[in-house]
Amino acid sequence: MLEHSFFPITTPQKPNTPYGKKGTSSLAAQLAAAIPENEFTPDPNTRYGEIWMGDHPSNPSSLILDDGSKVPLWKLSSEDPKRYLGAEVLKKFGDTPSGFEENKEGGEPLKHLPFLFKVLSFDRALPLQIHPNRVLVDHNYKPEVAVCISEKFDGFIGFRPLLEIQRFLGLVTELVSAIGDDEVVKEILGLQLEDPSALGADDERKLLKRLFSGIMWRKDEVIAEQCQKLATRLDEHGDGAVVGDKYMALGRVIRKCLKDYPNDKAVFVGFLMNLVSLKYGEGVVVGVDEIHAYIEGDIIECMAWGDNMLAHGFQPPEERSSAKVLISSVAFHTHSNPDLSRIPPSLVLPSSPWEWSKEGKTTHYLVPLEEFELIHVVLNHKGDFEETTPFPRPINGPLILIVVRGAAEIRLRDGGESMVMERGRAVFVRPDVVWRITATAQDGADIWGAFHDESGV
């Protein structure tokens, strides 16, 4: 079995995800339950928010052997890294400390994939969070990308232009009270922000930090009172009443957050942030220290290997990270969005045809990170196929694939080894493998993948 070129792997649920969808309404639960080796049956009253695919020891996948037994993926990638990670990955990332030295005898650094791949499914806001450029759970920072795989996705990502925040400060009295810093509110309201030269980047950062800090430090009872007032206004006068019809979508999402988290300070941080709305196949890039809170949808998520997070909001008070540490870590910069697009241009994850695709059935997401790349294979009917070209050479790093719709068969391009990939199946593909995938379901298959290749093809 260990001589194979590709292996089925488990897709473990992340425990304790109160933002996840309930039971089988969760895509993450559907995909996990479809694979017998996961030994998982969804409970209709339990929320399931995430499945992970990778070798991070916080929630690792296991290779499924021919006899049905399982071997942790981190164990193989650490003990035989050249075979399972590839020489190029080792050359670039092999000396990166993991923070999990205890998992290997002798205390040597754990060798691992450069990325962590997930499916998320949620109908309540995830915690207001950043992935900091500092040591917390492990030694790795965690920039990420997210691609919508449901009809729609809503999320707060990064800070909106100060001109828009200025507008909200003049309209939303509850927001002003939640900030509790009349001086900074007065200063912002007095600025001529229609003139791009009216405020330098450093001054903008200072003002954003004061607004954000005011909300973070405000007493919970004050926040609760303002949340109740805001909820009453929205209920009585509609989504556009608070911020105007131009921003009605924001009013709708704020109302939802107030329903799910009635007295939470993150509701007011939402007025400072970009409301990003994605359609199927659209993606965003979330940088290190970028404040974000995903609200509703199903997504493919991939990030640099790591589990570091600071969060303060859309969660129980006892689970909050230190407000002081969060404030000192957040990247206080805005994302210009002059056309009020659903996605501010600087957050867009671009895509193009994949250069390794021989049949043209694969979209390549142009991830601006060195740790991983993302692909989406669409096969439209039974017998439809895609294969990788071996020229100028095969992919020299590891690849993980997951089937989210339909079913397919993966085999070596030149024949021989093959494997059935039913819906929910995740597969680990070794470096330097040239493969062919053929749809076996009548309606074809949708397959998502994350991989590393050192050439950056």
DSSP, res 199: S
Alpha helices (H) along 238-378: 240-243, 248-260, 266-269, 323-329
**Are 390 and 399 spatial neighbours (Cβ–Cβ below 8 Å)?**
no
- What is the radius of gyration, based on Cα positions, of the chain? 23
Residue 292 annotated as lining a ligand binding site: yes
State both tokens at 114: 């450069």
| Rounded-to-integer distance, Cα 277 and Cα 293, Å | 12
| Rounded-to-integer distance, Cα 322 and Cα 313, Å | 11
**Are 136 and 44 spatial neighbours (Cβ–Cβ below 8 Å)?**
no
Residue 131 annotated as lining a ligand binding site: yes
State both tokens at 126: 């995830």
| Rounded-to-integer distance, Cα 296 and Cα 299, Å | 9
Residue 129 annotated as lining a ligand binding site: yes
**Are 281 and 148 spatial neighbours (Cβ–Cβ below 8 Å)?**
yes
| Rounded-to-integer distance, Cα 313 and Cα 54, Å | 28
| Rounded-to-integer distance, Cα 307 and Cα 14, Å | 12
CB-CB neighbours of 268 under 10 Å: 29
State both tokens at 332: 């206080």
Strands of 308-414 (E only): list them: 310-311, 351-353, 362-365, 373-379, 385-387, 399-406, 408-412
> How far is the first Cα of the chain from the last one, in angstroms, to the nearest whole number?
30
Torsion-angle region of 51 (φ positive above 0: left; ψ -120 to 50: alpha; else: beta): beta
DSSP, res 170: H
Q: Coil, helix or strand for 419? A: strand
Alpha helices (H) along 238-361: 240-243, 248-260, 266-269, 323-329
Residue 226 annotated as lining a ligand binding site: no
- Side-chain-side CA neighbours of residue 65 (13 Å): 10
Using the structure block, give the residue that is written with the tokens 């969005």: 337
- Side-chain-side CA neighbours of residue 77 (13 Å): 34
**Are 327 and 212 spatial neighbours (Cβ–Cβ below 8 Å)?**
yes
Helix 201-217 with 182-189: angle, nearest 10 deg: 140
Going by the annotation, the residues of the binding site for Zn(2+) are: 129, 131, 144, 292
Going by the annotation, the residues of the binding site are: 129, 131, 144, 292
